[in-house]
Amino acid sequence: MTETLEKEITQRIEQIYPELVQTRRKLHQEPELSFYEFQTTSFLVETLHGYGYEVHQPLETGCIAVLKGGKKSDRVIALRADIDALPIQEEGEHKSEFLSRRNGVAHCCGHDVHTSNLLGAAKILKEYKDDIEGTVVLVFQPAEEKLPGGGRLLSESGILQKLGVQEIYGLHTSPYHQPGEVAVKSGPLMARPDEFTITVFGKGGHAAAPHMAVDPVVLSGQLITLLQSVITRHINPTDPAVLTIGKIEGGSAHNVIPEKVEMKGTVRTFDREVAEKIRMQMEQTIKAVTEAAGGSYDFNWDEGYPAVVNDADTTEKMKRVARRLIGVKQVTEIEDPVMAGEDFAFYQEHFPGTFFFLGSGSEESGSVYSWHHPRYNADERAMKTGVLILVGLALDSSDDS
Ligand SMILES: [Zn+2]
Ligand SMILES: [Zn+2]
């Protein structure tokens, strides 16, 4: 990518910025849950057709757009954005102009920004088609937020293999970095998020006669505390691991011992073996506690996404492209991996790839809340950097290095 081209593209992004914002807000107002992104998909397919893309729909929702560059080459690069929203009731005055119009559904993970970003890149890449070496594959992926994960379904569908994808890149907005910045690291970046449901069965009865009942509330209380020891007493302290119970439900009145209590939670690790060890130890603990009291249990474990592990070569390329386009200081090296999960990991099981964070945090846009918070917001200026880097990655050819 020559300097003149870099300048031209930066200017072009400034020109289309109002459009990026408009698209982001449109998506934000009409969020759709994982696997139900029908309206979003129609909008994407229509827009991409309008740009002149060849569009494939291997799954019910989401789509894949293909652009053959003007310079002949076998090179095939994929860029991925996730398009789904979360089951959250949105809040936040910074977003008052474009709050979700759907009750209990909201883009509180920034996927509206990711989608608008990639659509912006699609528009610009089409305009600079003659400068592209090989083929660019744009992956608008559904259902990042829900198991088994759209990333898994797409990477196992075989379409990317058929298109000959050789490398893949994806990004996520980050409230912990400023707009204009990106952050990345080679190796493990994001954790493996497994999910579990524990049902503790007791024997219901009168609250005043606990000796006649088996109290699943008390048993659950013991388990909540004991299960933390699975991490601290059974797992090697040098292996990162987190266990969180995020939901607990049981009982109906202040004077009734209920029949059962249900708890849902997640375990985050970087290694399947560590996760497996935690699962087994959890089950032993649950079995021992419930059976000792005369109760019983049900323990359900849903294997989550693998860990996101960035390939050394694609990460080096991403850093080189980003440093040149946005400046060395704007490219942060992440030291510690984060325990959140991402189904981008599935692509990385098939293709070398890099996932990076796009700074989107600022006081003025109220973008100070963590992902999945009802007030989560992303500073829209982040999209200028996002589009630039995605376009840069697609236009970068090995001769430039
Ligand atoms: Zn999320
Ligand atoms: Zn997300």
Q: Which residues, chain by chain, have CB under 5 Å from ion ligand 2? A: 109
C-alpha–C-alpha distance, residues 2 and 14, integer Å: 19
Query: Which residue pairs from 244-253 have beta carbons closer than 8 angstroms and sit at least 24 positions apart in sequence?
Result: 244/268, 248/220, 248/224, 250/200, 250/216, 250/217, 250/220, 251/217
Going from the Cα of 219 to the center of ligand 1, the distance in angstroms, rounded, reads 32
C-alpha–C-alpha distance, residues 42 and 26, integer Å: 13
Going from the Cα of 349 to the center of ligand 1, the distance in angstroms, rounded, reads 20
Q: Which residues are catalytic?
A: 84, 144
Q: Under a CB-based contact definition with an 8 Å cutoff, are residues 130 and 22 in contact? A: no
Question: How high does pLDDT run on average in the chain?
Answer: 96
C-alpha–C-alpha distance, residues 68 and 134, integer Å: 6
Going from the Cα of 346 to the center of ligand 2, the distance in angstroms, rounded, reads 15
pLDDT at residue 397 in the model: 75
pLDDT at residue 398 in the model: 56
pLDDT at residue 246 in the model: 95
Going from the Cα of 109 to the center of ligand 2, the distance in angstroms, rounded, reads 5
pLDDT at residue 94 in the model: 85
370: phi then psi, degrees, rounded to nearest 5: -75, 165
Taking only the tens of pLDDT, the chain with its 401 residues reads 888 999 999 999 999 999 999 999 999 999 999 999 999 999 999 999 999 999 999 999 999 999 999 999 999 999 999 999 999 999 988 888 999 999 999 999 999 999 999 999 999 999 999 999 999 999 999 999 998 999 999 999 999 999 999 999 999 999 999 999 999 999 999 999 999 999 999 999 999 999 999 999 999 999 999 999 999 999 999 999 999 999 999 999 999 999 999 999 999 999 999 999 999 999 999 999 999 999 999 999 999 899 999 999 999 999 999 999 999 999 999 999 998 899 999 999 999 999 999 999 999 999 999 999 999 999 999 999 999 999 999 999 754 44
Ligand nearest to the CA of 110: 2
Here the tokens at position 83 are 């398009």
At residue 287, the 3 state secondary structure works out as helix
Ligand nearest to the CA of 146: 1
Going from the Cα of 280 to the center of ligand 2, the distance in angstroms, rounded, reads 29
What the chain holds in terms of domains, given with CATH numbers, is: 3-186+311-400 (3.40.630.10), 191-302 (3.30.70.360)
C-alpha–C-alpha distance, residues 307 and 399, integer Å: 32
CA 219 to chain centre: 34
pLDDT at residue 401 in the model: 43
Q: Which residues, chain by chain, have CB under 5 Å from ion ligand 1? A: 109
237: phi then psi, degrees, rounded to nearest 5: -60, -15
C-alpha–C-alpha distance, residues 216 and 202, integer Å: 5
